[in-house]
Structure 1
């Protein structure tokens, strides 16, 4: 995700500064707008869009609802020039433009886009199964995907996202200490038959991407549009070329897959569609999904092809990662590395770890543990070894292991919002649960960085251990059976609970500038359309001041604050969880959602 990475020339801090000075876009975001794409693109505020993905009609005579797909070559190219110019105008200076197009006009639209001012970064071939069969020619089984940028020196490319990067053979096979722990960027690869390809090849990480086309029998097929793209394909493009909270625009809404995928991945979205019927169907799809929902279709493209090759059994892979068994030798190596880490902690005045979590939540101890695993030449990578450690801890197989003490939420409440927001952003974008995130050192380090951007701290960065402990303890607290039962028991009563006060953030700050008033209980921060985050506090003044001054928060354009007064800690937590479950603000972690009677909402 790298929203706040100092390595990016187009950093989030720059984006935040840009966003804070822009006026509102004339067209409402998070909507699909019916009408001509060229006319609608002219209404988009210049420089307001982060990513444009376009899958236009191919001009091959396909029967659409209202569009004529059999224009003359000149008319079609003039039409494309108009909408591509509109896309160029709408994009930010560091924005990206992805174009899906067939053979007939691939070369023409590539040159046309470059004439307009785009720079081509990649020419990807999307290879798919279930292509249209030809009798007197070769059956087509591919589409061209062009990746363009406005500025070849400053653009979003999240190459460290684990859903984009591919592990190296040095990591996975040879346990080579020289391996980059983040894996590697993919090769340029030609492979003829996917069933004959190595499991780590012919994947979405290469310039030939293999995903099954959404055929009529597929579960994810919507049925009203014949050219539906797979969500996993769009997910890869959206993840690599935008950040959570960015604006993704699709000029040709079609089946709505771009917009649905953008919503699931925590992006803002805007779509245009000529057909009124398609707009209705797209809105139905959008209303049926939430931020953080899994993408439809298999994440591992090899699962959509039946292998026909006979012979030697290959290493089993799941989502591009090898499944390495936890053998007796591996268990002993993990125990040895754990013991060495305990000795390191005692020597270096750290608290001596007594379980896997103590090591995962302390970066220096985890680095020591990984170093010991490398020295033992274990197969796999740091994530594999950390997951082994967790599995052994869950099975009570570590020497001198002790259970963790139940967390006291009051001790972590101050840092919980920043940690929760950082975890939500990363879990949506990286498709990781908490154990996977903290088992992956690069992802864990990025969590530390993002959480510090949201932290309510006027001093230096908070220690990583404090932030990791805060989110781990928050999850343990809200998942207690007694809390879940209390939310369910009080759901009907809480449904009628209204906020005690509501202000715009500017009004609140003005009203309480001279006579501060401490409100204790649950607060809700909203943008112009819906809640962004619901939390707890015993000092609302500090919370609102923090949000108004925090550049990371301002990226999400908070507008209003509501407060629900509640002095008792447990009752405040129950109320918070109920409100999160009801309104589903997208900056709250998904583990906060409780199973309450859905008929109430």
Structure 2
């Protein structure tokens, strides 16, 4: 199919390349709209390092929410009847108070919320008048109430309190709190993308929510993590990204994927 295993260089507000009901799973992390110029390093108000592509994440609130609602509606159009959406977003801190992202659920009233995953990580920015934030959310929605892919056996983890006299297996169902580290500066998967999320996070989602050969969509492809993981796991991918430099990063990563698991 001419639209599979491609990253299109234009806005995901229009995914006209994709037919209706062609995608099995969408997973994405949209811009957070937290008014940060990514890619620059500052020290005491002075620019000390400039690395990677810069962009400013600062839309008017109404414009930002409208943009996400359009992308979500377009995703629903291309999503199969038994398809899934996994949506990563975080709290924002604005005007000296936290804004939780639960407003996004307004865009999914015609879908079924199965989990709100807490993605917990062990490092990040510091604060001095409130506790440091060390988590983000991943909302898991399905189009159908009960008929959807959930490959639990593929994502089970070792049980800490395993007792052979009580349990048949040393493996258990992961909880809805996932302890997965951010991509550090010295990580082998690190790129110049300023807001890269870890392959481990996407791997669990794609394994549990799709089967080999399924099509995975990421409307905000960024450095290509979704595509890389999909290719490694024998799934097809499609994505959208407006920054050509990010597409180059993604393509370089994809070219280095040598093992495909089917």
State TM-score, norm by structure 2. Answer: 0.85
Of the three residues 242, 257, 260, the one matched with 1:289 is 257
Of the three residues 215, 219, 243, the one matched with 1:251 is 219
Does 2:245 correspond to 1:271? no
Provide the rounded CA distance (Å) in 2 between the counterparts of 1:218 and 1:165: 23
Does 2:140 correspond to 1:143? no
Count of equivalent residues: 241
Q: Counterparts of 1:114-129 in structure 2 under 5 Å?
A: 114=109, 117-129=110-122
Q: Deviations over 1:525-562 (max 9, x none)?
A: xxxxxxxxxxxxxxxxxxxxxxxxxxxxxxxxxxxxxx
Provide the rounded CA distance (Å) in 1 between the counterparts of 2:135 and 2:205: 17
Match of 1:93 in 2: 81
Provide the rounded CA distance (Å) in 1 between the counterparts of 2:158 and 2:81: 29
Structure 1 contact 54–250 (Cα < 8 Å) conserved: yes
SS in 1 for 2:16: helix
Of the three residues 99, 105, 111, the one matched with 2:106 is 111
Of the three residues 174, 191, 207, the one matched with 2:176 is 207
Structure 2 contact 202–229 (Cα < 8 Å) conserved: yes
Match of 2:193 in 1: 225
Structure 1 contact 95–155 (Cα < 8 Å) conserved: yes
Provide the rounded CA distance (Å) in 1 between the counterparts of 2:159 and 2:122: 25
Does 2:35 correspond to 1:61? yes
By how many angstroms is 1:181 displaced? Answer: 4.2
Higher RCO (CA 8 Å, separation ≥ 6 residues): 2
By how many angstroms is 1:68 displaced? Answer: 4.6
Structure number having the greater helix percentage: 1
Q: Deviations over 1:191-239 (max 9, x none)?
A: xxxxxxxxxxxxxx221111111122323211x1121111111111110
By how many angstroms is 1:179 displaced? Answer: 2.8
Provide the rounded CA distance (Å) in 1 between the counterparts of 2:189 and 2:241: 20
- Runs of 4 or more consecutive aligned structure 1 residues displaced over 6 Å after TM superposition: none
Match of 2:12 in 1: 37
Structure 1 contact 121–148 (Cα < 8 Å) conserved: yes
Provide the rounded CA distance (Å) in 1 between the counterparts of 2:194 and 2:23: 28
Match of 1:410 in 2: none
By how many angstroms is 1:66 displaced? Answer: 7.2
By how many angstroms is 1:72 displaced? Answer: 1.4
User: Where in structure 1 are there 5+ consecutive unaligned residues?
Assistant: 1-23, 186-204, 293-423, 426-601
Structure number having the greater strand percentage: 2
By how many angstroms is 1:291 displaced? Answer: 3.4
Q: Deviations over 1:299-342 (max 9, x none)?
A: xxxxxxxxxxxxxxxxxxxxxxxxxxxxxxxxxxxxxxxxxxxx
Q: Deviations over 1:323-380 (max 9, x none)?
A: xxxxxxxxxxxxxxxxxxxxxxxxxxxxxxxxxxxxxxxxxxxxxxxxxxxxxxxxxx
By how many angstroms is 1:168 displaced? Answer: 7.8
Provide the rounded CA distance (Å) in 1 between the counterparts of 2:167 and 2:186: 42
Q: Counterparts of 1:544-583 in structure 2 under 5 Å?
A: none
Provide the rounded CA distance (Å) in 1 between the counterparts of 2:180 and 2:34: 22
Structure 2 contact 3–18 (Cα < 8 Å) conserved: no
User: Where in structure 2 are there 5+ consecutive unaligned residues?
Assistant: 39-52, 93-99
Residues 168, 183 of structure 1: CA spacing in aligned structure 2 closer, same or farther, 3 A cutoff? farther
Structure 1 contact 93–150 (Cα < 8 Å) conserved: yes
State TM-score, norm by structure 1. Answer: 0.38
Of the three residues 154, 171, 186, the one matched with 2:147 is 154
Match of 2:205 in 1: 237
Q: Deviations over 1:397-455 (max 9, x none)?
A: xxxxxxxxxxxxxxxxxxxxxxxxxxx63xxxxxxxxxxxxxxxxxxxxxxxxxxxxxx
